[in-house]
A = this chain, B = another copy of it.
């Protein structure tokens, strides 16, 4: 044996052997389960014995939807989330000026919120110029809707010459009509595109660091939509980077790429490049085609069948006509590509389901596992379609932290009650895969589990339709076995079973016995992925 864990509470989530105290691992695979007396004698000379000291082990977590590279990229930014005023922010950035000047890089900072600053004011171009005016500097607000730039950054982005009277850009101006450095919404993309792209080497370093963070949260696989990070090359560079890292054993977490595609032309290039769902390079596999049907609830861009109650002129935005969506889905389906379709509003869901149903009827494919990502606003009839079409529901329980404050205002109490209704999904037997949508939310799994069960913000105590909750066991399944199902890996992952990969997560308390509202306080002690310890803390 390579590793033997013993003296634990091992919740296998395999009904064929629900609980044991010890597990043996060799060559990355679970080889034996039992009590300590049965398993400890398997120790060989080089076996590492790990005393779980009564801690709680479950199958390694899977996050079924996030944007891992975006998270990784943000790791390359200066973190302003804790600073108390602009002075502190400036001091943090100052440390990087010399290195940025030498290496011809930008200084990128993110996460400030001036509401928590003493001065309560968003800084402007002149403030940032005082840190440096020959090196481009940008600071993004925590909301992602605002970026403040210094003059050099604006200049490189071609925005310094904009003037208040003539500009159609989403940006702010001083009283003299010159840009004040505050850039909003989509105009932020003009800034991003002006930045020198990260090299493969830089991206790999960031991914390795991000994977360590994921392992720290007990995560063993992320299903991630990354292609938008590098627009224009249909994801080829990202697929290559992940593939190289997998081949060189540099990934501490399994990656299942949700390949974002916007058009049938883009999909054709993806196919021409030889990719397909299931293409496997060890820890890196190519996953579904990701299609984005609509926007977000907060921005009122989620596409609704009825106008937003709090903005009656608006029904949100469909990114495709029904015909376009049908074409795109039909093409993916005909090539036996899994799809994962972002739908937040009920009209987006209607469109996606219509396209999926037609694809199924026209061109039957076996075991294709299409799904809807987010699937938030829906009535009961629309929820039934998940059952009828055997669709995966990719849910992000922690979204409730924010959405519980706005959903009823947007769609009214009745529709809100049948939205985010995971209880009924579970009762319908729908495959529920849990995820974080990180970096929109943190990918910390435990708070996400807690929201699934309590639907209560632990900071405010506010609960939202608690009758729509999952049980702890159901929530665990969403982040383990059902996550594995979503990536066609339930034969080798998702339960602790002999012959499955040793993807294991250990924590300090038994989730099934503590009050659910304490789940977010549970600590991850150890994570193993494919037999490799990727995180270990005090055990």
Interface residues of A (CB under 8 A from B): 1, 14-18, 24, 26-34, 42, 357, 360-361, 363-369, 387-390, 428-431, 491-492, 497-501
| B498:A17 contact, CB within 8 angstroms | no
Distance in Å: Cβ of A6 to nearest Cβ of chain B: 15
| A29:B365 contact, CB within 8 angstroms | yes
Whether A1 contacts B361 in the complex (CB less than 8 A), given A16-B387, A388-B17, A499-B366, comes out as yes
A430's nearest neighbour on chain B, judged by CB, is B16
| B431:A389 contact, CB within 8 angstroms | no
| B429:A367 contact, CB within 8 angstroms | no
| A366:B16 contact, CB within 8 angstroms | no
Whether A15 contacts B429 in the complex (CB less than 8 A), given A32-B361, A361-B31, comes out as yes
Inter-chain CA distance A71–B500, complex, in Å, is 37
| A360:B17 contact, CB within 8 angstroms | no
| B32:A357 contact, CB within 8 angstroms | yes
Question: Which chain B residues border A500 with CB–CB below 8 Å?
Answer: 366-367
Distance in Å: Cβ of A353 to nearest Cβ of chain B: 12
Distance in Å: Cβ of A501 to nearest Cβ of chain B: 6
A497's nearest neighbour on chain B, judged by CB, is B390
| A498:B24 contact, CB within 8 angstroms | no
| A32:B360 contact, CB within 8 angstroms | yes
Inter-chain CA distance A363–B186, complex, in Å, is 55
| B28:A498 contact, CB within 8 angstroms | no
A370's nearest neighbour on chain B, judged by CB, is B499
Known A26-B364, A390-B499; 16 more pairs at CB < 8 Å: A16-B390, A16-B428, A17-B429, A24-B361, A31-B361, A32-B357, A32-B361, A360-B499, A366-B492, A366-B499, A366-B500, A367-B492, A368-B499, A369-B499, A388-B498, A389-B498
A359's nearest neighbour on chain B, judged by CB, is B31
| B428:A499 contact, CB within 8 angstroms | no
Pick the 6 closest A-B CB pairs, nearest first.
Answer: A29-B364, A15-B429, A16-B429, A367-B491, A390-B498, A27-B364
Contact of A390 among B17, B369, B431, B492 (CB under 8 A): B17
Contact of A28 among B32, B34, B364, B431 (CB under 8 A): B364
Inter-chain CA distance A28–B363, complex, in Å, is 11
| A387:B499 contact, CB within 8 angstroms | no
| A429:B18 contact, CB within 8 angstroms | yes
| A29:B390 contact, CB within 8 angstroms | no
A1's nearest neighbour on chain B, judged by CB, is B361
Inter-chain CA distance A366–B530, complex, in Å, is 11
Inter-chain CA distance A368–B431, complex, in Å, is 24
Distance in Å: Cβ of A147 to nearest Cβ of chain B: 44
Distance in Å: Cβ of A399 to nearest Cβ of chain B: 23
Question: Which chain B residues border A501 with CB–CB below 8 Å?
Answer: 366
A and B contact pairs by CB, cutoff 8 A, 23 listed: A1-B361, A14-B390, A16-B390, A16-B428, A16-B431, A24-B361, A26-B361, A27-B363, A27-B364, A28-B364, A29-B364, A29-B365, A30-B364, A31-B364, A32-B357, A32-B360, A33-B388, A42-B361, A360-B498, A366-B491, A366-B499, A367-B499, A390-B499
Distance in Å: Cβ of A367 to nearest Cβ of chain B: 4
Residue among A27, A28, A498 having the largest count of chain B Cβ atoms under 10 Å: A498
